[in-house]
Chain A
């Protein structure tokens, strides 16, 4: 609880879960969910470093706020793109969108 490595390990494990989801899931929204997990693990890393190692005050928290903001913007855009894609393909299966196939 009071050691840096513990938080870092938790963050690493969360990141791996997220990565697995990104690589394996077929539904676009599931990929988005996994990406959110990964972002959160990065935030956790920042907070842990700030608490135990970094010299600046509150830099980790500010960073986390910014990451949250970016994640929100990204989620908004991504979801609207998914809606547009759904209207075209009638499905959000990532393997169905094959027009750029080479």
Chain B
């Protein structure tokens, strides 16, 4: 049938999760074992195919593109196809690995949930959408599947739909990302109008700068960046991600740490040559990334819900990635995306084990109930935390170092200082969690949870345990593959930025040493406040209650949005429509009724048995008729 093995692998990778989604949704919802087998089978096959693709195209130098005309309308042709180049293969591999690990983990986590089949159907939907989006050759296909990813996110966040907060969170996620997507769509339309073509390779080519005037290029780049802001939860659209923690923890691990929110960064990297054409857009991206990174780090410092801490951390790390890309560090951003996918998914999955065990999200409560007794998750979480903080030899250290180097190449050093300051904050809030979990003030001797789960040695436990171990191992060794990945990514991207890659290891050691020192300082502060014996386990922020309140309320962003929504949309816009509906539409119909009634009432004077009125009317009519013969 299909001769080309690469094309075949692409088709299989993309279509199997889709078929799995359809099958589960339509047919096998009653049989849970069958549903999960179909889904996991599909995603594992996709994993195998994407590994094959990665290996097969490892030495390719030119991107490979397959496309067929999908929608035809006159002279407009919308293609559907696959773009096989190093960036998309790397991303595809990341998505496939994390999706399969999370789906296996979910066997343990979601066991016993009434919506088990529905969960796996949506997981397959997500896998399909994300993978097709990753290898899309044209921005239209990219956009379509970008929106489908958003849909999957909505469905999965609102999975526990009977809970009011969950359905609200799903709606909020969809609406907020949609706002970003509107900007992205307008940007794409501008490019389409002026350039005529939305192929990724075409947009990235140098011809774009000739056809589109510079200001429009900047405008469209910034508008497309809005899509990144929405999807990757940057300032000011970052409030949906913490609320998205209402979904099940594996969903948070897959979507909201590793893959979906990384899609924004992936878009940025995909269109990187396009963005390079506009210096203003890159500055804007840098600014937004920095603000996001600092803002969400502060929010993470006061959270008591473990998932919220990791959510804010995700936003912060995405800010780092955007900063790196904004400063021109293409490899740095993508490398951090890869490393982050690994350790953030690890952190979420470990937290999931704790949440599943102790039925609470509050890590103070968890630690008091003896969370450190669960060895595998605790160790893996510590590994993930070390990677997140950027401690040698974990992957986070290498990726953060490359980000700092990229930032240092920017003429304005303030971004570098901001990045370094963020390192302290990251280390502080991460180790706050770890120390509280490791060194609780007192362990309550309830212990009934442990008895319930029989010490936690069942099959379910190990179903959740093995993905943790795999991810932790990846986190340990990924950092040492930095050189290979760099060569892999930048090999087919021979622009002037090659000199950045070379200069990266030309020995900007001062930054590395500064970063290590800052991390140690952050960990030390956390240790002093939370870790050592007799520590009060209260942050320094409790002595600054106003600041603490500011951070805890997400810098009042949600309040602002609520107020803006109420005032402008509900108060202004929908108020207008409501008034129109009541006064104009209803009022019109009422007026017709009243007019009929009123005119009837007026005309009824002739029926009131007053002869004189009748005579009056008669005479008047005769008079008017006679008048009409005047002349």
Contact = CB atoms under 8 A, between A and B. Distances in A.
Q: Decide if A and B touch, CB cutoff 8 A.
A: yes
Interface of A: 19, 22-24, 31, 94-95, 97-102
Interface of B: 607-612, 615-616, 619
Contacts of B615: 22-23
A100 B609 contact: yes
A92 to B, nearest CB: 13
A101 B616 CA distance: 17
Contact of B608 (A23, A24, A101): A101
A23 B612 contact: yes
Contacts of A19: 619
Nearest to A22: B615
B619 A23 contact: yes
A94 B612 contact: yes
A3 to B, nearest CB: 23
Nearest to B619: A19
Nearest to B620: A23
B609 A98 contact: yes
B605 to A, nearest CB: 11
Contacts of B611: 94
A99 B612 contact: no
A102 B619 contact: no
Nearest to A101: B609
A99 B609 CA distance: 8
A32 to B, nearest CB: 13
A24 B612 contact: yes
A102 B609 contact: yes
Contacts of B610: 94-95
Given A22-B615, A102-B607, 8 more contacts: A19-B619, A22-B612, A23-B616, A94-B612, A97-B609, A100-B609, A101-B607, A101-B609
B64 to A, nearest CB: 90
24 contacts: A19-B619, A22-B612, A22-B615, A23-B612, A23-B615, A23-B616, A23-B619, A24-B612, A31-B612, A94-B610, A94-B611, A94-B612, A95-B610, A97-B609, A98-B608, A98-B609, A99-B609, A100-B609, A101-B607, A101-B608, A101-B609, A102-B607, A102-B608, A102-B609
Contacts, number: 24
A95 B615 CA distance: 14
A19 B611 CA distance: 13
A100 B606 CA distance: 12
B481 to A, nearest CB: 100
A31 to B, nearest CB: 8
A101 B604 CA distance: 10
A98 B608 CA distance: 8
Contacts of A22: 612, 615
A35 to B, nearest CB: 11
B469 to A, nearest CB: 95
B612 to A, nearest CB: 5
B620 to A, nearest CB: 10
A35 B611 CA distance: 14
- The CB with the most chain A CB atoms within 10 A, among B608, B609, B615, is that of B609
A32 B132 CA distance: 99
Contacts of A97: 609
Interface centre among B608, B612, B619 (most CB of A within 10 A): B612
Contacts of A94: 610-612
Nearest to B609: A101
Nearest to B606: A102
A95 B605 CA distance: 13
A22 B617 CA distance: 13
Contacts of B608: 98, 101-102
A97 B612 CA distance: 12
A22 B619 CA distance: 11
A19 B607 CA distance: 21
Contacts of B612: 22-24, 31, 94
B323 to A, nearest CB: 86
Contacts of A31: 612
Nearest to A24: B612
A98 B619 CA distance: 22
Nearest to B608: A101
A24 B613 CA distance: 9
A97 B615 CA distance: 16
A88 B608 CA distance: 20
Nearest to A25: B612
A21 B608 CA distance: 20
Contacts of A23: 612, 615-616, 619
A94 B609 CA distance: 9
Most chain B beta carbons < 10 A, residue from A19, A23, A97, A99 = A23
A24 B610 CA distance: 11
A31 B609 CA distance: 16
A33 to B, nearest CB: 14
A31 B610 CA distance: 13
A31 B616 CA distance: 13
A20 to B, nearest CB: 10
Contacts of A98: 608-609
Nearest to B613: A23
A97 B611 CA distance: 10
Contacts of A102: 607-609
Nearest to B604: A102
Nearest to B610: A95
Contacts of B616: 23
B611 to A, nearest CB: 7
Contacts of A95: 610
B441 to A, nearest CB: 92
B609 to A, nearest CB: 4
A64 B574 CA distance: 79
A68 B609 CA distance: 30
A20 B498 CA distance: 108
Closest 10 CB pairs of A and B: A101-B609, A102-B607, A100-B609, A98-B609, A23-B616, A23-B612, A101-B608, A23-B615, A22-B615, A19-B619
B377 to A, nearest CB: 90
B607 to A, nearest CB: 4
Nearest to A95: B610
Nearest to A19: B619
B600 to A, nearest CB: 12
A64 B398 CA distance: 129
A94 to B, nearest CB: 7
A36 to B, nearest CB: 16
A101 B619 CA distance: 21
Nearest to B611: A94
